[in-house]
């Protein structure tokens, strides 16, 4: 499964399945299928799919990231391997074209889970990653959104463009993996970090339960540790993906009136999505079937 974030209902096209980004979602799903069919791991598949979503300026991650209040791009990302709970994450990084690939390097080549800011960028240079110039990230659409928000007074949080991306997978060996990446919230203060790089909040994978990627108001997901909460419904209470995703969203709303959504694959390969507001741009391939892409509230 992959997602390209949530759009508010007042920005929805007349036909949900004509929402922006769905064609890209479909192509990326097929790319992930090809990786798994060739014997690739779930971890390889989610890294590759999340990286392609970061490359697409339609989504708020990598090249399409929104601008903070200083007109700069700061990005967060995480990746997790359900085989052994190994994980890597980066927060508030600049000039990294694919933050999810840097997160994978943190997982593979460091003893840490989360690196932030300038330290994460120095680690990228140590690993041989090339930095991208500022102009690579500042697209005309994101600049327009930034200027629009800056020009308004009393703007509501839900009016701010968002669109975190995520990818989750189960491979032929039954291993699960998850990745989440975002540019955050437009006009955010420098240094603000949301749930995307926080293991257990915006991303989680454990072969004993499920893989989860979240999108929405990050502070709500951090307060409820939502991705891990959903995994707990599966591992401890025996829920399947659909029931656990719904229970998680119900918990999010009940506890903090949270706004957002999740995609989930359980250990049996069942896919689900649920959300509390807006519509989710997402797609899935379940048990080797046909690829399905939509912008609706549930799978």
Q: Which residues are catalytic?
A: 164
Distance CA 46, CA 24 (A): 15
**Tokens 């997982």 belong to which residue?**
107
Q: What stretches of 15-114 show up as alpha helix (H) in DSSP?
A: 22-37, 42-55, 99-109
Q: Please provide the DSSP assignment of 137-184 as one string.
A: H--HHHHHHHHHHHT-SS--GGGS----EEEEEE-TTS-EEEEEEE--
β-bridge mates for residue 116, sequence order: 91
Pairing of strands 260-266, 210-216: antiparallel
E-assigned strand segments in the chain: 2-7, 75-81, 86-93, 114-116, 165-170, 176-182, 203-206, 210-216, 260-266, 271-275, 279-284, 292-296
| Long-range CB pairs of 104-111, under 8 A, 24+ apart, other chains included | 104/43, 104/47, 104/79, 105/129, 107/79, 107/80, 107/81
The residue assigned the tokens 């490359």 is 55
Say if residue 133 is exposed, middle or buried (CB neighbours under 10 Å; 0-12, 13-18, 19+): exposed
CB-neighbour burial class of residue 176 (10 A; exposed 0-12, middle 13-18, buried 19+): buried
């Amino acid at each position: 499964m992959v997602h390209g974030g949530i759009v508010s209902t007042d920005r929805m096209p007349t036909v949900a399945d004509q929402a922006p980004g769905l064609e890209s979602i479909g192509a990326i799903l097929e790319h992930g299928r090809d990786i798994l069919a060739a014997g690739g791991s779930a971890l390889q598949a989610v890294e590759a799919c999340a990286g392609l979503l970061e490359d697409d300026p339609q989504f708020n991650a990598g090249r399409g990231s929104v601008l903070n209040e200083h007109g700069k791009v700061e990005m967060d990302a995480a990746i997790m391997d359900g085989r052994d709970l190994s994980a890597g994450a980066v927060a508030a990084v600049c000039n990294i074209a694919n933050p999810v690939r840097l997160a994978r390097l943190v997982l593979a080549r460091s003893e840490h889970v989360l690196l932030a800011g300038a330290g994460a960028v120095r680690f990228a240079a140590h690993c041989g990653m090339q930095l991208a110039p500022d102009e690579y990230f500042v697209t005309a659409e994101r600049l327009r959104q930034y200027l629009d928000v800056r020009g308004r007074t009393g703007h509501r949080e839900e009016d701010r463009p968002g669109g975190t991306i995520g990818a989750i997978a189960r491979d032929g060996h039954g291993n699960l993996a998850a990745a989440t990446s975002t540019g955050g919230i437009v006009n955010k203060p420098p240094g603000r970090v949301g749930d995307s790089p926080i293991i257990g909040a915006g991303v989680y994978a454990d072969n004993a339960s499920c893989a989860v990627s979240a999108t929405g108001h990050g502070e709500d997901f951090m307060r409820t540790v939502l991705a891990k909460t959903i995994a707990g419904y599966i591992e401890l209470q025996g829920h399947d993906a659909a029931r656990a995703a719904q229970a998680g969203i119900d918990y999010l709303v009940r506890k903090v009136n949270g706004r957002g959504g999740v995609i989930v694959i359980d250990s049996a390969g069942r896919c689900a999505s649920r959300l509390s507001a807006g519509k989710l741009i997402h797609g899935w391939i379940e048990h080797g079937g046909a690829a399905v892409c939509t912008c609706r509230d549930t799978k």
